[in-house]
Chains A and B, each alone.
Chain A
Amino acid sequence: MKGSAWRSPSLLAGAAITAVMVAVALLSLVWTPYRPTAMDFVHRLAPPSAVHPLGTDSFGRDVLSMIMAGAQSSLTVALIAVAVGAGLGIPLGALAAARAGLLDDLVMRGCDLAFAFPALLTAVMITALAGPGAGNAMLAIGIFNIPVFARVTRGAARGVWAREYVLAARAAGRGDAAISVVHVLPNIAAVLMVQATIQFALAIVADAGLSYVGLGVQPPQPSWGRMLNEAQTFIWRAPLLAIFPGLAIMLAVLGLNLLGDGLQDLLDPRLRRAR
């Protein structure tokens, strides 16, 4: 397994980028070059220099510190949103797969309904109605992850239910719930992990979108989306102010997508061989 991991450049690059992101986010909890909210009106819109490696914004805040703190809030929102989606979607999908028939139809039509709404727009609507803030942003993004995980889980789980070892498990007296937990979920864990990585990347974009329109993490806590928004006013005088948070979002998404691709390549053939 180690050998094949080394042969996958996308897995390595994705894991490295993601690890750096996570490390930066964690580091920001204990250390940033400056307090990310500290304003310095003397040094506003400063270009990158030795004292401010990524410059300062229109309030004189240190951009590097803000990017670091933004990574922390962005990853937290995305992580919890994906956890909400997976935590509810996976059991729903597993249930639908175990109980073909009415329940299955119900869950799947519910997913169809959810997919009929444009996710980001509806998330904007939800946070606009429920009030802006990190908590509601997590919920709004999480809700749209539920049908994604439900569908993927159901599809993959149905494949496992059709296998002979499930019939053998039933012949051994195992009930549907035990089979779902003992046999089905472990055998679809790889698929779910890949999906979770992809959803994580999408959630980061969604979080950036929500905070761009002011519905995500609230000031003064910095976020990548709001940094982009605030950079708009000075886009000609200080284009780097937009470029740095943009790059951060792009890197985070790229890293997670590479990781997802790499995981898929790594886990799928191994599972196929093991079966």
Chain B
Amino acid sequence: MLTVSDLSVTLPMAGVPVPVLSGVSLTLPRGGSVGLVGESGSGKSMTALAVMGLLPPGARTGGQIGFDGHDLLAAPEAALCALRGRRIGMVFQEPMTALDPLMRIGAQVAEPLRRHLGLSRAAAAARAAALLARVGLAPPRVTPDLYPHQLSGGQRQRVVIAAALACGPDLLIADEPTTALDVTVQAQVLDLLAALTAEAGMALLLITHDLAVVSETVEQVLVMYAGRVVESGSTAAVFARMAHPYTRALFAASPHAAVGDPAPIPGVMPDPRARPPGCAFAPRCARAGGECTRTVPPLLGTDAHRVACFHPHAAR
């Protein structure tokens, strides 16, 4: 249903076009689920925003984003407006800032219902109340006439989820939906997302920097680094092998998966303005050899498992 092929995005930084995404491809069948994993700055949000047609002004794109027969990169703004919130819903990272502070939560959930489905004020309000109850925000503790600042972070994220799901979209994009939440709430919100999407047969694109988060939630995983996909495949295959050294480093850095303390990945991701000519991970990689610093390793393998590395790990 969603097919991203060879997506590239350049953004102007101080007037100079800088590539932030290169050759990103992913396929998400109807009702399927894909996890997009990588450190902060690896291009996950840009991928999501490209699908939504909400890239920052001045962005230049290449490749295709097919959604149910439309090419989203070529679609006019009006067509995208009709799709956003109706067929594609999105949940953002910061529940503290993703809600309008001056609007009641019920109204924020009802808004897309009125806009996209043409519901009357009363019908939309009733539906919004039901949606809020479905995400676990029911009276007497939470009523639709509350304002965002009267809710906790986890409750606000539930409001955001209810609003994103209001029109029953075919695809839900969740960009780090639990990153800003307390650890105890994270699992609940993830479970809620998984349950709601499964129940409605909705496809899920789950973005996170925590590799362990996706292991139980999604069917396929894409690991991104510096604007490229470095490893992809079915969740089982990727976790069974973790062929790319970056994938392993990411896993070791996860606060949820590591056996001992999480081990932060040494070094920093190269700035998109000054990426090395070869593999972008080479400067931080213990296995890097000569060719790693000269040529970008191609993403090779089968649909079940691909890796972009000259010195991949064998099975774990």
Q: Given the complex of chains A and B, what is the CA–CA distance between A163 and B98 in angstroms? A: 8
Chain B residues close to A by CB (< 8 Å): 52, 54, 57, 81-86, 89-90, 92, 94, 97-103, 111-112, 115-116, 147-149, 160, 163-164
* A165 & B98 in contact (Cβ 8 Å cutoff): yes
* B81 & A100 in contact (Cβ 8 Å cutoff): no
* A183 & B100 in contact (Cβ 8 Å cutoff): yes
| Residue A173 CB within 8 A of the other chain | yes
* A173 & B112 in contact (Cβ 8 Å cutoff): yes
Check A187/B100 contact, CB under 8 A, given A164-B94, A168-B160, A171-B90: yes
| Residue A53 CB within 8 A of the other chain | no
Chain A residues touching B, majority SS:
helix
Q: Which of A9-17, A55-63, A174-182 forms part of the interface with chain B?
A: A174-182
10 contacts between A and B (CB under 8 A): A163-B97, A165-B97, A165-B99, A165-B101, A167-B54, A170-B54, A172-B85, A172-B89, A172-B112, A273-B149
| Residue A275 CB within 8 A of the other chain | yes
* B160 & A172 in contact (Cβ 8 Å cutoff): no
| Residue A274 CB within 8 A of the other chain | yes
Nearest-neighbor residue (CB-CB) of A178 within chain B = B115
Closest 10 CB pairs of A and B: A173-B85, A172-B85, A173-B84, A171-B90, A164-B97, A274-B101, A168-B98, A165-B100, A275-B101, A186-B102
Nearest-neighbor residue (CB-CB) of A171 within chain B = B90
Q: Please indicate which of the listed interface residues B81, B101, B112, B163 has the most CB atoms of chain A within 10 Å of its own CB.
A: B101
Q: Given the complex of chains A and B, what is the CA–CA distance between A183 and B163 in angstroms? A: 15
* A175 & B81 in contact (Cβ 8 Å cutoff): yes
Known: A165-B97, A165-B101, A172-B115. 19 other contacts (CB 8 A): A101-B57, A163-B97, A164-B98, A165-B98, A165-B100, A168-B99, A169-B100, A170-B52, A171-B52, A171-B89, A171-B164, A172-B84, A173-B81, A173-B115, A178-B115, A182-B100, A183-B103, A186-B103, A275-B101
Looking at the assembled complex, report how far the CB atom of A170 sits from the nearest CB atom of chain B, in whole angstroms.
Answer: 6
* A182 & B97 in contact (Cβ 8 Å cutoff): no
Q: Which residues of B contact A168 (CB under 8 A)?
A: 90, 92, 98-99, 160, 163
Nearest-neighbor residue (CB-CB) of B99 within chain A = A165
* A173 & B99 in contact (Cβ 8 Å cutoff): no
Q: Given the complex of chains A and B, what is the CA–CA distance between A216 and B300 in angstroms? A: 81
Q: Given the complex of chains A and B, what is the CA–CA distance between A175 and B81 in angstroms? A: 7
* A173 & B83 in contact (Cβ 8 Å cutoff): yes
Looking at the assembled complex, report how far the CB atom of A48 sits from the nearest CB atom of chain B, in whole angstroms.
Answer: 50
Q: Given the complex of chains A and B, what is the CA–CA distance between A175 and B84 in angstroms? A: 10
- The interface bits of chain A over 139-169 (1 if a CB of B lies within 8 angstroms of the residue's CB, else 0) are 0000000000000000000000001110111
Nearest-neighbor residue (CB-CB) of A100 within chain B = B57
* B97 & A171 in contact (Cβ 8 Å cutoff): no
Q: Given the complex of chains A and B, what is the CA–CA distance between A275 and B102 in angstroms? A: 8
Q: Which residues of A contact B84 (CB under 8 A)?
A: 170-173
Q: Which residues of B contact A172 (CB under 8 A)?
A: 84-85, 89-90, 111-112, 115, 163-164
Nearest-neighbor residue (CB-CB) of A163 within chain B = B97
Nearest-neighbor residue (CB-CB) of A272 within chain B = B101
Nearest-neighbor residue (CB-CB) of A170 within chain B = B54
Check A187/B101 contact, CB under 8 A, given A173-B86, A174-B111: yes
Q: Given the complex of chains A and B, what is the CA–CA distance between A178 and B114 in angstroms? A: 12
Looking at the assembled complex, report how far the CB atom of A60 sits from the nearest CB atom of chain B, in whole angstroms.
Answer: 56
- The interface bits of chain A over 219-253 (1 if a CB of B lies within 8 angstroms of the residue's CB, else 0) are 00000000000000000000000000000000000
Q: Which residues of A contact B97 (CB under 8 A)?
A: 163-165, 275
* A164 & B92 in contact (Cβ 8 Å cutoff): yes
Q: Which residues of B contact A186 (CB under 8 A)?
A: 100, 102-103
Looking at the assembled complex, report how far the CB atom of B304 sits from the nearest CB atom of chain A, in whole angstroms.
Answer: 32
Q: Given the complex of chains A and B, what is the CA–CA distance between A169 and B115 in angstroms? A: 11
Q: Given the complex of chains A and B, what is the CA–CA distance between A169 and B101 in angstroms? A: 13
Q: Which residues of A contact B164 (CB under 8 A)?
A: 171-172
Nearest-neighbor residue (CB-CB) of A164 within chain B = B97
Q: Which residues of B contact A167 (CB under 8 A)?
A: 54, 92, 98
Looking at the assembled complex, report how far the CB atom of B77 sits from the nearest CB atom of chain A, in whole angstroms.
Answer: 8
Q: Given the complex of chains A and B, what is the CA–CA distance between A167 and B90 in angstroms? A: 10
Looking at the assembled complex, report how far the CB atom of B170 sits from the nearest CB atom of chain A, in whole angstroms.
Answer: 14
Q: Given the complex of chains A and B, what is the CA–CA distance between A170 and B111 in angstroms? A: 12
Nearest-neighbor residue (CB-CB) of A189 within chain B = B102
Q: Given the complex of chains A and B, what is the CA–CA distance between A187 and B112 in angstroms? A: 20
Q: Which residues of A contact B163 (CB under 8 A)?
A: 168, 172
Q: Which residues of A contact B111 (CB under 8 A)?
A: 172, 174, 182
Looking at the assembled complex, report how far the CB atom of A74 sits from the nearest CB atom of chain B, in whole angstroms.
Answer: 34
Nearest-neighbor residue (CB-CB) of A275 within chain B = B101
* A173 & B94 in contact (Cβ 8 Å cutoff): no
Looking at the assembled complex, report how far the CB atom of A82 sits from the nearest CB atom of chain B, in whole angstroms.
Answer: 23
